[in-house]
Structures are given as C-alpha cells and as structure tokens.
Amino acid sequence: MPKNEQLQKILVIGSGPIIIGQAAEFDYSGTQACHALKEEGYTVVLANSNPATIMTDDTVADKVYMEPLTVEFLSKIIRKERPDAVLPTLGGQTGLNLAVELDNAGILEELNVSLLGSSLEAIQKAEDREKFRTLMQEINEPVPPSEIVTNEEAAVEFVAEIGYPVIVRPAFTLGGTGGGMCDNEADLQHIVKNGLALSPVHQCLIEKSIAGFKELEYEVVRDKKDQAIVVCNMENVDPVGVHTGDAIVVAPSITLSDREYHLLRSVSLKIIRALEIEGGCNVQLAIDPHSFEYYIIEVNPRVSRSSALASKATGYPIAKIAAKIAVGLTLDEIKNPITQTTYACFEPALDYTVVKIPRFPFDKFTTGDRHLGTQMKATGEIMAIGRNFEEALLKGIRSMEIGDGDYHLPNLPEADQLDLINRMKHPDDERVFVIAELFRRGMTMEEVHAGTKIDYYFLRRMHHIIEMENELRKQPFDKEILLKVKKYGFSDKQIARVWEAKEDDIYRFRTEKGIKPVYKMVDTCAGTFESTANYFYSTYETENESEVTGKEKVLVLGSGPIRIGQGIEFDYATVHSVLAIKEMGYEAIIMNNNPETVSTDFTISDKLYFEPLALEDVMHVVELEKPAGVIVQFGGQTAINLAAGLQERGVNILGTGLEAIDRAEDRNKFEQLLEELNLIRPKGQTVGDNNEVLAVANEIGFPVLVRPSYVIGGSQMEIVYDEEELTNYLQKVPTINPDKPLLIDEYITGIEVDLDAISDGETTFVPGIMEHIERAGVHSGDSIAVYPPQRLSENVKAKCLDATDKIAKALNVVGLINIQFIIHGEKVYVIEVNPRSSRTIPFLSKITGVTMANLATKCILGETLSGKGYQTEILNEKENVYVKLPVFSFEKLRSVDTTLGPEMKSTGEAIGYDRTLEKALYKGLTASGLSIPFEGSVLFTVADKDKAETYHLAKRFDELGFQLYATKGTAEYFAEKGLPITAVGKIGSGDQNVLSLINQGKVQFVINTLTSGKQPRSDGFRIRREAVEHGIISLTNLDTVEAILNVIDSTTLRAQPMMDKGAIQS
Amino acid sequence: MTKRKLILEDGTTFMGEAFGSNQSTQGELISNTGMTGYQEMMTNPSYFGKIAVMTYPTIGAYGVNRDDFESIMPTLNGMIVKEACQEPSNFRSEETIAAYMEKYNIPGISGVDTRKLTRHLRKKGSMRAFIADEADEVTDTSFVSSKTAEEWIQKASIVKPYIVPGRGKRIVLIDLGMSQSILHELTEKGCHITVVPYDYSNEDVQAYKPDGILLSNGPGNPDKAVKTIRAVQTLLGKYPIFGIGLGHQIMALAYGAKTKKLHIGNYGVSFPVKEIQTDRTWITTQSRSYYVDENSLKGTGLEITHRSLNDYTIEGLSHVRDNAFSVQFHPQGAPGTNETNGLFDQFIQNMESNAAQNGGQTHA
Ligand SMILES: Nc1ncnc2c1ncn2[C@@H]1O[C@H](COP(=O)(O)OP(=O)(O)O)[C@@H](O)[C@H]1O
Ligand SMILES: Nc1ncnc2c1ncn2[C@@H]1O[C@H](COP(=O)(O)OP(=O)(O)O)[C@@H](O)[C@H]1O
Ligand SMILES: [Mg+2]
Ligand SMILES: [Mg+2]
C-alpha cells in the first residue's frame, strides 16, 4: 500500500534527557525514524530537549526544536509548525505520555493533527494497567492475578487474599520506577506509598509474584494491512524478578522448544493485532520452566530498548521500518535494508548467538543499593555476538569494562563463601561473576540452580567455561587447547591469568600459531541470500567474509556502554568523526559494542565491527584492515585507554599522541607542564602516608579537595572543611600507601569554566566557553552550564584562550581538547585537561554551529584550521543564552545520595535557550523534568557554614510569597534575622517533623546542604532521599537555588506594599 | 572424538566431529534456517533423503521429547551442525539429539563452519553430499545418487490405510509423506480422516465416499512420481481437493503443469508468502526444492493464489472450475507458525459448498 499522501509535515517527538530506563536507544530509533521519513519525502520537525543526540542535528530533521518536552511547549511548536501528524512512538515513554497529554489538552483535535503509529486507545490499553488487564481478559490471555489500588490499605487487603510475595507496579512510570517486590506488610506499605506518589495517575498494581519463571521478550511489527511479524525473541538469563533492562539476555531464545517459541509468538502477534498498532511493539512474557503455563508481563506499544537491541542483534532496523509503516507503507513493500533484495516482511534467521549484558553505575555509586529487582538500575548495556553462548558471553564480559575484562573479579577469591552464596541468591550487578567464583570453588550446578533459578542451560555453559579453565591450566602453551578456548570466547587476558603469563605472551604465541578470528556478516537471513551490509562480528572459524578493499581506511573506536561520566555525547562525536572520514574519501570503519547507539547502525560507517573494545579485538581488526591509523579521541576513556596498548603493538594513533594523554593524566607530568607554561593550578600534593595527611591538609589550608589517586572518574572525591571531616573521610577510603596515595588539593571557590577547542597543532580554535552556575566543587557534568559566559571579563576569556593555545601546542594536540578552569577574581586556574572529545561537544557544536568532531577529524587527517579560515580565537558569542542542565536518575537508584559534589552523578542532560538567562533556565529546568512551583513552601535545613548565605535566599523566597519551614538551628538563625519561619522537628520527633512535611507533600522545595563528613545514613541523607522519592525538588547547592529563584523572580508578579506608608493608610 | 567429513558433490570437504550414529550416509544437502524445530524437521517426511545443514549454531539445546515428532521414525539422512548440545534443558526433554540420532542410525557432524557451508550452497546451488569417516578416501562423488521420487514417496508413505475418526467432514488423506501436524489440524476441526497410501487406487478412494481429498506433503522430485500423479488425475473434478507441499506440486502436475528445481531449496520457518486476493503476506514453513513453473499453467485451469515474496515463485494455486486448491508451504507449521491454518477451514468450507451445490453426501 503506498504511503500516505495526505501528510506532508510530521512532528517527531524525541525522548528527552537520558535517564535510567530511557537512554541512547531512542536516539538511535529517533534518528532512524527521521531519516526514514525524509527518505519518503516528508518534512520532518523534531522536538527533543536532549542536545547530546545525533537526532537533534540539523541534518537529521528539517527543523529541530530543542524545547522542553511538555504540553505547553509542544503545543507552541504545533501551533507554529502546523504539522499534519505527530509520531510519538519512537520517543520512548516520554513520547507516549506526551501523546496522551496532547490529546487531553485538545490541541490535536483543534488543529486537526493526526497521531501516527499507535492510536491513543492502544497506548492507553497497553499502558493503563487496568485497561490492559481488561484487554487481556477479552482476548483470553493470562496475566498474573492482580489488583489496582489507590491507597495502602487496599493493597494490604488484597494481599491478604493472594498471599506474599507480590510485586508492586506504579502505573505510567518507566523502567519500573517506584516498583518493587515485597514479602511482608512493612515493605508493602512503603513501596505502595512511594509508587502512588510517583505514578502520574496515582495508581499502583499489586500483582502475584511469578519470580523464577523464564522471562521472554518478543519484538513484533505490524502494518495497516494487519501483516505482523516477530523480528526477534529474546530470553533472559536471569529469570522473572530481575528487570529485563538489568538482566543478561540472549537472542534468540535458547531453551524454548519450537512449541513454546510459537506459543508465545502467536500470543505476541495476537496482542499487537488486538491493539492495532501500526509499527513496533514489545511484548514481555513469562513461561513456567516446568509447563506451558505462561503470563503476559507487559506490552510496550512503541519501539523500546529491546527493539534497539533486537535491531542490532538481527540487522533488522525496527525503528526505520516502524516509521515507514506509520506513514502507511506496508511490510511487503518495504525492502529489507540488509539484503536489498528481499522484503521487510519476514522473520530474521540468526546464525549466531547474541548476549546483552547491562552496565551498572555502581562503580560510581559505591554505597548505592546494588540489588537487582523489578526496578531498572542499569545505565547502559553492551551486546556481543558469537557462534556459541560461551563465546558471546565472554565477549560481552570483556566489553563491559568492569575489572580488566576477564571473567573473574580479583576481589572475589578472597570473599567469604556465605557472602557469595548470599550474593548468588539475592542478585546484584556482579552475579555472573559470583556464579563463576562459586563454580571455581566447586559448587554444584544444582546448588546454583536452586539459589538462582537460572536455567540449567545457562549454568552449564558458565560451568563449561570454568571447566575449560581447568583444562587449560593443565596444558600451558598448547596450541590445540588454545584454539579450543578461543572458539569459546576466552580472551587473551583470561588465558594469561590461567597460564600465569602476560597478555602479550599469549598474543605472541597465538600469532605465531596463526590462531586468529575470522569475521562473519550479520545479514538477517543466515547466509541464504546475498547481502550487502558491512556489519561484522568475529569468531574462530574458517571463512572470513569481511572483504578488505583497496581504499585507504581509518578505524574509529567507539565509547562502549553508557555509564555515568561517559554518555551518549561520546557516541555523538564518534558518529561525526565517521561521517567526516567518509566526506574526506577514506573508508570509515567503526568498532563498538553498544547496541543502543547510532554509531552501531550499520548504515553510518562503511564498515561496522560489532566487537568488544579490548586490545586483542582491536588488534584483530587492525591486522585485517590495515588502516592508515586509529582514532581514539572520540570514544571517551574507553578508546583512550586502548591507545597505549595499540601503540605498543605498532599501531598508528591518529591525531593527538599518546604522550599528550599521559602528560594530561599523570599528575606530576601535568604539574610540570603547567609550570613550564606559566599557568597556575590549585595548590596540591600527593600523600602516601596516612600520618601525613592532616599536616599536608593544614599546610594547603582547609577546605581541601581529597581523592584517592587510583580511583577512576572522580569517585570518592570530596571536599572537606576541617580536620574532623578529613578524619571521617579517611575512614571511608582504603588505607593509603605510596602506591595508592591520596591527592589533596586546595579547594578554590570560584566560577568553574568548561572550554572545548580544536587544534591542528598550529591554530587553536575555540567555538565557545561555558560557565557553570554552581561554583567549583560540583562536578562539571552535574552543574548547569551557561553559554555564553555571563560573569567572565574579556580579560579572563583571553587568558583562557591563551592557556588553551599554550597547552594545545605544548601537548601537540591535533583534534579536540577540553579544559576545565576555575576563575577566582581575575585568576585563571587550570584544573583539568582532557586532550580528547568531551561531554560538552554536542552542546557546543549545536549552539555555535561548528560541528567540532567533524572539524577535529579533518585536522586529524591532515587538513589545517587556517586552510579552512579558522584562527586562534574564540568564536563570536551568540546572542541567545543557552544552558545545559544535568538530569539525574535518583528515583531509580535507592540509597544513592543526591548531594551534588565533585563526583558526577547525572545520567543525562537537557538544553534550554532563549533571549535571557532566566528564560533559558526556565526552559532548561522544565526540560530537565522539574516543574518549577511559583508558590508554596520551602523547607531549609543547612549546614552552619552555609547559614549566612542561605538567609539571603530564604529572604527572597519570602518576598516571593513562599512559606518557609526550617529545622531548628536553621529556623532560629533565620528568625533572629526577622524572617517569618516555622520551625519543624528533627526526624522522628513530634507530629510535624521534616520527614512528615515531605511525606505529606506540604513543601515544594527542600534545600539541604551537606553537614559534616558525608555519613551516608545521616539525617540529611534521609531528607534528600525522601524528597526524591516523593518527587519534591531537592536542592543541595546554593547556586542552583539562586538560579531558580532568579527564574521564579523574573516570571512572578509579586504583591508588595508601597514604600510610602502614609500614602496608603485608609 | 571421532573425526568425520562431509564430502560435497563438487569435491569440497568439511571436517568435523562425529555425533549421533557412526554410519556413513549420503543425501541431498540442504540448509535449514529454523532456530528451533530440529525435532520436527528430523521427523518430517519431506526431509526423506536429506542431509540438513543447520544454520542456527546450537542445535539440541532443548533436547528431544516424546510429543514433537512429525512421524514415528526420523526421516533425515544426516545432520551437519556447528554445535550439538550435549546437555539439553527443557522440562519435556528426554534425551539428547545425539542419543536420538544414534538410536535411529542418523549420523551427524558437529564443529562445522555451517555458515561457510550454507554460503557455498547458496553460490553453487543445491547438491548432494555424503558423510564419511576421516580416513575414507573418497574423491569421486558421482555415485552419490538419490532415489527416484516414487521410491522416496513409497518410503515416506504408509502401506495400509488407517482411520482417525471424527464427526465432521470425511477426508481421504493421501499420504505422500505426511507430517503429523496436518492430522492435528484436521482432527481439531472434528474431521473424519482416512489416511491412505500414496498408490491407493481410485476406486478404493471413492469407496470411502469422501467429502474431500487432501494431498499431503512429502519428499522428492514430484514430476517423477508418475503413479501418484496418475492416481490423482482420476480424482480431479470429482472431489474438493487440497494439496500441501508435495501434494501441491502433484496436483499441479496432475492438471498438466510442470515443476522445476530451485537453485537452492527453501527449508526453514520464515518464508513470506503473499496471498494475492487479500494482498496479505504470511510467514510460512517450507521444505521444498521444486516449484510449479508459471509458464506451464496455460490451459491447465489453474490460477495463482499465492506467491513467494522473496522470488515470486508460485506458492498457491486454485482451479477455475474444479473445487481444488493447493499451497506450496506448510500451513500446519510445526516447526514454525501455523498462522495460515485458516486454509484448513477453507478446505472444510470448500467441502461444504460442494455438498450444497452437488448434493454430495454429508455424514453426521
Ligand atoms: N508478577 C511478577 N512477579 C515477579 N516479577 C515480575 C512480575 N511482573 C514483572 N516482574 C519483573 O519486573 C520487571 C519489570 O516489570 P515490567 O512490567 O516489565 O515493568 P517496566 O515497565 O519497568 O519494564 C520484569 O522485567 C520482570 O522481571
Ligand atoms: N581545586 C579545586 N577546587 C575546587 N573544585 C575543584 C577543584 N578540583 C576539582 N574541583 C571540582 O571537582 C570536579 C571534578 O574534578 P575533575 O578534576 O574535573 O575530575 P573529573 O575527571 O571527574 O572531571 C570539577 O568539575 C570541579 O567542580
Ligand atoms: Mg518491562
Ligand atoms: Mg572534570
């Protein structure tokens, strides 16, 4: 059926900032959708507030609105653009929720805008738990016994009927936010209350637990002719009870017989048909391991994280096909983009096994609750392809960048047996390693099965790996056994551990013996049709299908799984680098392992190797392709970390050299560099002895910034204000010694500045400088960045440029460089230099119009900046003000402290822009998910050192008509200064205390600053957590408070008495 | 582990390890793309004489159970896999695939680069092959020959008729190598089925006074099945007919059409087929190396009802005058989907309308 000619302009809704449960996969799907719609000749208008995405590039859609994804702003866009239709099903839960809200607001009807993809009815039937259950009853499909409740009492009553354990699931939330499993009444009360608060419709579903069943997902696609197919099914290794997003998953399912497979397939198709979805849909099911009894867990009437995974796992681009279906095309007329000869109406046949492993943020949130349950906690994931489960699993494990890539965590052999057993039974993020350790210790399969309910198939495969380790151990440097374990995915590292040798030795031995992998194509049809897609994975077999061309090639390394500190921004830069390489006529080859991203869309590069980003895997590609060089600077720390090993093995690193990275990262060399260049940095010292810490700190002068040197990514970095806090801190970090010293820096209160530049070694061009709202001390990724800077003098900017130029030259930077400064008065301190792509590249590129990664790539490949008309300068500032705001996922991460500090905690970002800073901030805050209250109450509870400063802020809240509450000390302080304030009791006291105020939703803001020493279980911590869990704005930085006050102030008309008292007396 | 080798007609060899039986065997090499369904495949009579290359790399993960056989005895001659799972896991699993194959004398080779092999077949076209011991010095493959079609069908069919009683339509099912699931579909609809051998005489069939005749799937090259074709010819126009797989080809041949061989066969569970009248595409299971040649339809009265979405070859036919239709694919699925099992309803309807029109008998 031909496409719909009635439509001309389509508004695509993106998914907004990245949060746990809604991540880069929607950039991939959104980008595909926009491309697909443009391909069909439509005008595409895109709304997405996430500047870090590829989809918001002006080349992807015809018009891009990076406005907040709210009804207010979308209505404005719709009024202005008058699209014929809205496509919400590629924008995740955000897109769907907005579609419903837009409809409720009546604007779609008013302006005659149609909805593509899923009808509102379908969305509601799938999303509203009660309607969903009704539908399932109508079509005779089973769901676990459950009941919708709107208060805790009803929950308790219902459970009395069905018995524990039960699952609580709030309606209309994503990634299982606010849900959980409970087996007692106290937990039930707590979780239900929480869930009700988080559910936009104030509903929770209480459901009988079916934990332990096999969990399966079917990715289905349907068109308007009612043709429907299953693109892929997936089986969770972790059975029901662990959120699919947090589970290790295989595709296709392995332990289902044809009967079970097709039983669930027809159920899935029946559901998508019943919902009449035109596009993609995700069906989650559970099946009893001992019978054919099954249940429907849920249905997502849209593309999802799993559909991105299924697309990468099969080569079948679901989002692209879904977009075409949305405009009326049908499966039997859309070409299969991989084969180009067959059609999209078929079910891919895989001739490999795919494993997905989630990536968790607990390397950052060391005190966070690591247990896995029905609420998703992973920030990202990796995918690995192999010709057997073991191979895919082990390739996956070395893609995770946990430990050193071996299927072995060094701390586990020391762990107590009971502790391990406990961790096996109550899954956390490291369970797959715990199981390996238990097998190494001789635990039986039956015991592990009893403790985990993981299917024997998977356990035996894991056990097989350990058996092979033992076999391997007995035959050091034996070629046959080496080849065997390679076929099962063993890394050189793992082999090196077992053979007690060095990774390099294994690599050399292997090369000598000619043991190397071949590459096979992902082609949707198991080799039965000719295919053109250059999408490959490695395996140890006999036929290599990756044909090496005669063209000059450049290999780009991607950034691996998304985690805190290394987000989608790096994928953005990677993609632009690839595009630039293609523009320059080279063959662009990419390696990456993240199934969620645009960079692993096989149409982006000339060749895609879906492989672990580990040294041996990169070497294999290099040896085959013999590229002119490898670009590492866009792939974040993942790629940078590979540079040294690659260079050692003779690989040419293109652009900025290894030495520059080393000089920027090694503290001593860094200090030396700055000294040579006459630049200043905060005073600092490295201390290798506990006894010297206090003396050094005193010498530098409190407050000081402390961090263990060996911890990556700023974790365990803290600001301490006095000796007591320092002593507390020392108790929390492992003992220091000369090998693992502590770094102590002078803490400078000043304006933090982020700057990104491009250099070709001669010229250093700065597209823009960003200034942070929060003073230094809040990680640059967690603070609000403002462009152009509002408080910097021309002199300071010139100094920043000068410093950048000097550093870039000294380091011989060719490509991108990111520098963070602290400005104190007119003094410019350099705190960090990253000679690589940074988090701010997409933001800055988009607002300045300079596609930095593209330009940098061209420099890397030999073009000069001057040749392109650039010189050493800061580009003229734009007139509008642009702000970048951090977005957190604290709702999902229990027990993680929300206080902002030098450790990064945010998972995503949002943009706001307008004529003034306040307007830009208003939009940015809205886009980041805060709805700013213009009236109401504020609760203060701040540390002594912050009281004076807070007073001024409290006063402004008062003037704006807010009611003030505060804990005793703070209240007294304010009252003394004449502010009307209500004092409330501490936690646990009286009927009205801080917590009850929060629990009852009586306050709109909670302003809390850190008291001493950051003890996780302090009152402050509880207050912050309660606020988050009740969806109340919790602010821990006074600069953020001030910024928000300015926003409220600028938009509020306040009631104020006339100054002249006499004149108005009546 | 014993090493074994697969030798192709064109002389190419693949080495691997033995599993299942240690016999040597020969057969037509086909690639099967199903990711599940090996048990059904191995016992599906359409696979008589075949050596299957499984494109999905892990075969046997859910074992072999007592329910999912498509015929009592396995039909496959041999199986080539990347990995044969020795430790299956499924609540119905009773034995490993290797044990099952050993029991029934089916040799297999594991550890083969099955993707390479499949690509080889795609490029060179389907061919015969045999499985031999590593030490066997076989270089001449010309003696590998397949049985004649009639022989295959004879092997796949039955000797004596039997009845699966029901209260609905009376069907004579001519067993050319029927998969069990066809019976399931019909019995579920209450049909009274008499399964007869492929060479049952015309009079004998008529003696059952059937409401309709179903020509089942089966193995082999259809145009060599002269006896069967002739027998079917005598039934044309007299009874509503429904042909499936080989039965479809036989019906076409009986009406005077011709069949041709595909470059490589279609063996798997994901073949899209377009139903022309409704303009809808279905996912189907197929096991065929032949197709009915469109150019040969002229004058036969046959019309195309279904086409392959991949290569446009004929997937379904119906007769303009006679109450007869057929499909190339397997609407019963197993392995694969039975989403086209509406065709069995259509057959029943055809029988009903025939009864209404021609006053044919109905049986309570
Ligand atoms: N009745 C249940 N008993 C036990 N676990 C369940 C039940 N229902 C869902 N789960 C688990 O919770 C996870 C999340 O539930 P789901 O309904 O898929 O919510 P989300 O919208 O977060 O994906 C599932 O992946 C599954 O593992
Ligand atoms: N000497 C200092 N004084 C004040 N704040 C600092 C100082 N050093 C670092 N910070 C703060 O800590 C944050 C993280 O430090 P940084 O060195 O940039 O680590 P990362 O590698 O995690 O980016 C910075 O963004 C800044 O806010
Ligand atoms: Mg789910
Ligand atoms: Mg930093």
Residue A240 CB less than 6 A away from ligand 1: yes
User: How far apart are alpha carbons A449 and A460 in whole angstroms?
Assistant: 10
Q: In this structure, which amino acid lies at residue B230? A: R
Per CB-CB distance under 8 Å, the chain A contacts of B336 are 258, 262
Looking at every residue in chain B, the average pLDDT score rounds to 90
In angstroms, what is the span from residue A215 Cα to ligand 1's centroid? 9
What is the model's pTM? 0.94
Grade residue B140 by pLDDT with cuts at 50, 70 and 90. Answer: low
CA of A752, nearest ligand number: 2
B269 touches chain A (CB under 8 A): yes
What local confidence, expressed as pLDDT, does residue A1066 receive?
Answer: 42
What pLDDT is attached to residue A1017? 58
Residues contacting residue A411 through CB under 8 Å, at least 6 positions apart? none
Specify the pLDDT at position A804. 97
Q: Looking at beta carbons, which residues of chain A come within 8 Å of B35?
A: 252, 261, 349-350
| Residue A517 reports pLDDT greater than 70 | yes
* Span B127-131, average pLDDT: 90
pLDDT tens per residue across span A496-505: 999 999 999 9
Does the pLDDT of residue A178 top 90, yes or no? no
The length of chain B, given as a count of residues: 364
- pLDDT above 50 for A1065: no
Kindly provide the residue ranges of all beta strands, DSSP E only, lying in A835-902, ordered along the sequence. 873-874, 881-887
Bridge partners of A567, per DSSP, are none
What's the order of all strands across the beta sheet hosting A214-222? Answer: A294-300, A279-287, A214-222, A228-236, A249-251, A353-359, A380-386
Give the tens place of pLDDT for each residue, A665-698. Answer: 888 899 999 999 999 999 999 898 888 999 999 9
The answer, yes or no, to whether residue B38 has pLDDT greater than 70, is yes
Q: Provide the 10 A C-beta neighbour count for residue A626.
A: 11
Which residues are CB-contacts of B178 (< 8 A; sequence separation ≥ 6)? B45, B71, B195, B216, B217, B218
Averaged pLDDT score across all residues of chain A: 92
Q: Does B89 touch chain A (CB under 8 A)?
A: yes
- Residue of the CA atom closest to atom 18 of ligand 1: A298
Tell me what pLDDT residue A172 has.
Answer: 67
Confidence (pLDDT) at A892: 84
**Candidates B1, B62, B65, partner chain A, best to mutate (most A CBs within 10 A):** B62
Counting one residue from chain A and one from chain B, the pairs whose CB atoms sit within 8 A come to 153
B34 in contact with A, Cβ within 8 Å: yes
Rounded to the nearest whole angstrom, what is the distance from the C-alpha of residue A942 to the centroid of ligand 4?
26
A521: nearest CA partner in chain B = B115
pLDDT value at B143 more than 60: no
Residue A1018's pLDDT is what? 77
Q: Give the separation between CA A288 and CA A210, rounded to whole angstroms.
A: 9
In chain B, the N- to C-terminal Cα span, in Å, equals 60
Confirm if A1037 and A900 have CB atoms less than 8 A apart: yes
A530 touches chain B (CB under 8 A): yes
Question: Which tokens in the block code for residue A131?
Answer: 């309607």
* Calpha distance A572→A570 (Å, rounded): 5
pLDDT attached to residue A199: 77
E strand or H helix at A482 = helix A479-487
Residue B244 has pLDDT above 70, yes or no: yes
Model pLDDT, residue A174: 54
Q: What are the φ and ψ backbone dihedral angles of A883, each rounded to 5 degrees?
A: -125, 145
Q: Is the pLDDT of residue A711 over 90?
A: no
pLDDT tens for each residue of A40-94: 999 999 999 999 999 999 889 999 999 999 999 999 999 999 999 999 999 998 9
* pLDDT for the residue A1063: 47
Contact A258/B336 with Cβ under 8 angstroms? yes
CA distances from residue A828 to A357, A678, A820 in whole angstroms, order as listed = 43, 11, 10
Q: What is the pLDDT of residues A210-245, one digit of tens each?
A: 999 999 999 999 999 999 999 999 999 999 999 999
The closest of A295, A289, A291 to A450, measured between CA atoms, is A289
Distance in Å, alpha carbon of B154 to nearest chain A alpha carbon: 29
CB within 5 A of ion ligand 4: which residues? A 780, 820, 832
Instruction: Kindly give the distance from the C-alpha atom of residue A702 to the centroid of ligand 2, in angstroms, as a whole number.
Output: 16
B281 SS3 class: strand
What's residue B148's pLDDT? Answer: 66
Q: How far apart are CA A1012 and CA A993, in angstroms?
A: 21
What is the Cβ-side half-sphere exposure of residue A628, based on CA atoms within 13 angstroms? 15
Classify A513 as helix, strand or coil: coil
| Beta carbons of A89 and A280 less than 8 angstroms apart | yes
pLDDT tens, A877-897?
A: 999 999 999 999 988 887 888
- Closest partner residue to B279 among A225, A229, A348, by Cβ? A225
Q: What is the pLDDT of residue B141?
A: 60
Q: Between these two residues, A551 and A128, which has the higher pLDDT value?
A: A551
Q: With CA atoms as reference, report the closest residue to B316 among B299, B300, B296, B330.
A: B330
Q: State how far the Cα of A436 lies from the Cα of B309, in Å rounded to an integer.
A: 47
Q: Which of residues 207-246 of A touch B (CB under 8 A)?
A: 225-227, 229
**pLDDT for A170 beyond 70:** yes
Q: Within an 8 Å CB–CB cutoff, is residue B57 touching chain A?
A: yes
Q: Calculate the alpha carbon distances from A947 to A701, A820, A973, A1040 in Å.
A: 22, 29, 7, 16
Ligand 2 centroid to A748 CA: how many Å?
Answer: 10
Task: For residue A823, give the ligand nearest its CA.
Answer: 2
Q: How far is Cα A30 from Cα B80, in angstroms, rounded to an integer?
A: 42
Which pLDDT score, from 0 to 100, does residue B270 have?
92
- Residue whose CA lies nearest to ligand 1 atom number 5: A241
Encoding tokens for residue A124?
């509601």
Answer yes or no: is pLDDT of A974 > 70: yes
Position A359 scores a pLDDT of 96
Does residue A936 surpass a pLDDT of 80? yes
Q: Using the beta-carbon criterion (under 8 Å), do A520 and B115 form an inter-chain contact?
A: yes
CB within 8 Å: A348 and B270: yes
First to last CA, chain A: 78
A788 close to A893: Cβ distance less than 8 angstroms: no
Answer whether A902 contacts ligand 2 (Cβ < 6 A).
Answer: yes
Which helix (H) or strand (E) covers residue A911, if one does? Answer: strand A908-914
- Rounded to whole angstroms, the Cα distance separating B52 from B54 reads 6
Residue B281: the pLDDT is: 95
Residue nearest to atom 7 of ligand 2 (CA): A747
Distance separating alpha carbons of residues A554 and B314, to the nearest angstrom = 47
Residue B9 has pLDDT above 80, yes or no: yes
Residue of B nearest to A351 (CA): B56
Calpha distance A345→A333 (Å, rounded): 8
pLDDT tops 70 at residue A361: yes
Residue with tokens 């895997």: A617
Work out the minimum CA distance from A326 to partner chain B, whole angstroms: 18
Q: Which DSSP string corresponds to A819-844?
A: EEEEEETTEEEEEEEESS--TTHHHH
**What span, in angstroms and rounded, lies between the C-alpha atoms of A1040 and B328?**
70
Cβ contacts of residue B20 below 8 Å, gap of 6+?
A: B79, B84, B97, B98, B100, B101, B102, B106, B107, B108
Confidence of residue B363 (pLDDT cuts 50, 70, 90): very low
Provide the pLDDT confidence category of residue A1057 given band limits of 50, 70 and 90: low
CB A705 less than 6 A from any atom of ligand 2: yes
The answer on pLDDT for B248 being more than 50 is: yes
Is the pLDDT confidence value at A555 over 60?
A: yes
List the residue whose alpha carbon is closest to atom 24 of ligand 1: A243
What pLDDT is stored for residue A203 in this prediction? Answer: 87
- pLDDT surpassing 80 at residue B154: yes
- Report pLDDT digits (tens) over B342-360: 999 999 999 998 888 776 5
Contact of A239 with A215, CB cutoff 8 Å: yes
Distance CA A737, CA A726 (A): 17
Mean pLDDT of A776-800: 96
Using pLDDT thresholds of 50, 70 and 90, give the confidence band for residue A1015.
low
Tokens encoding B20: 């299942």
Q: Which of B276, B283, B281 is nearest to B318 (CA)?
A: B276
For residue A345, which residues of chain B lie inside 8 Å, CB to CB? 272, 281, 283, 309
Strand order in the sheet with A85-87: A63-65, A43-47, A9-13, A85-87, A114-115
- pLDDT higher than 60, residue A1060: no
